[in-house]
């Protein structure tokens, strides 16, 4: 796997640095416009072995932290129509397999639980590098992408429009920019 100028061993336990990471999603509104959102509270860990078959990734997202830059929409997303944050306060992910696609790309398969429903999902991850920060911490960064159908997780609220488009798309794109710090 490629790294930046300061090479560091990848094997080890890496804790996600929430202040330098992003967990985002996007959906279509009215079938024509892209609405983007993110979760502002999350945590996770990467346990990377010398052999990827022994590696794992897991994390949680605080559903109430959803932020689409529109308070009314965020409240609706927290409601029983969508995430039902009161009954299902967390989204969780735990990998079941991590494998190398090439020198910089990984395929991460795991169990994603949203709205009380668990389904398998496969994500692609690009290792963008490792570096030592000015305080002596080793860091690794990954860009992770995936797609899901929200109806697979019991989130079926919608409204058909006269054009045949739907108010909110079923297909959701996921995008995570992860910066993680190696545990001591």
145-183 residue pLDDT tens: 999 999 999 988 888 778 887 788 889 999 999 999 999
User: What is the token pair recorded at 26?
Assistant: 């996007």
Query: Tens digits of per-residue pLDDT, 51-70?
Result: 888 899 999 999 999 999 99
Q: Greater confidence, 31 or 143?
A: 143
Q: What is the pLDDT of residue 9?
A: 59
Domains located in the chain, CATH noted: 12-182 (2.40.128.110)
Give the span between the Cα atoms of 165 and 171, in whole angstroms. 13
The reported pLDDT for the residue numbered 102 is 87
Distance CA 121, CA 109 (A): 6
The pLDDT value recorded for residue 161 is 75
At 63, is the secondary structure helix, strand, or coil? helix
Residue 45's nearest CA partner among 145, 140, 143 is 140
| pLDDT at residue number 184 | 81
Residues sharing a CB contact under 8 Å with residue 53, sequence separation 6 or more, in sequence order: 97, 98, 99
Q: Is the pLDDT of residue 2 over 70?
A: no
Computed over every residue of the chain, the mean pLDDT equals 91
Q: Once rounded to an integer, what is the mean pLDDT over residues 79-88?
A: 95
Q: pLDDT digits over 3-40, tens only?
A: 343 344 588 999 999 999 999 999 988 887 899 999 99
Of the chain, the percentage scoring pLDDT greater than 70 comes to: 95
Question: What does the alpha-carbon distance between residue 150 and residue 157 come to, in Å, rounded to a whole number?
Answer: 10
pLDDT at 179: 97
CA 127 distance to own-chain centroid: 15
């Amino acid at each position: 796997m490629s790294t930046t100028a300061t090479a560091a061993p990848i094997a080890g336990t890496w804790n996600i640095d929430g202040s330098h990471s992003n967990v985002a999603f996007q959906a279509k509104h009215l079938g024509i416009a892209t609405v983007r959102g993110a979760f502002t509270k999350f945590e996770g860990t990467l346990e990377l072995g010398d052999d990827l078959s022994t590696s794992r990734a897991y994390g949680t997202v605080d559903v109430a932290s959803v932020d689409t830059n529109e308070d009314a929409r965020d409240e609706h997303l927290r409601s029983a129509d969508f995430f039902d944050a009161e009954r299902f306060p967390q989204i969780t992910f735990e990998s079941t397999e991590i494998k190398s696609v090439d020198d910089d790309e990984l395929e991460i398969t795991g169990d994603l639980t949203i709205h009380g429903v668990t389904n398998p999902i496969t994500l692609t991850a690009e290792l963008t590098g490792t570096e030592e920060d000015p305080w002596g911490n080793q860091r690794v960064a990954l860009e992770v992408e995936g797609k899901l159908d929200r109806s697979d997780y019991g989130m079926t609220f919608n409204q058909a429009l006269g054009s045949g488009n739907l108010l909110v798309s079923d297909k959701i794109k996921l995008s995570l920019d992860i910066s993680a710090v190696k545990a001591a």
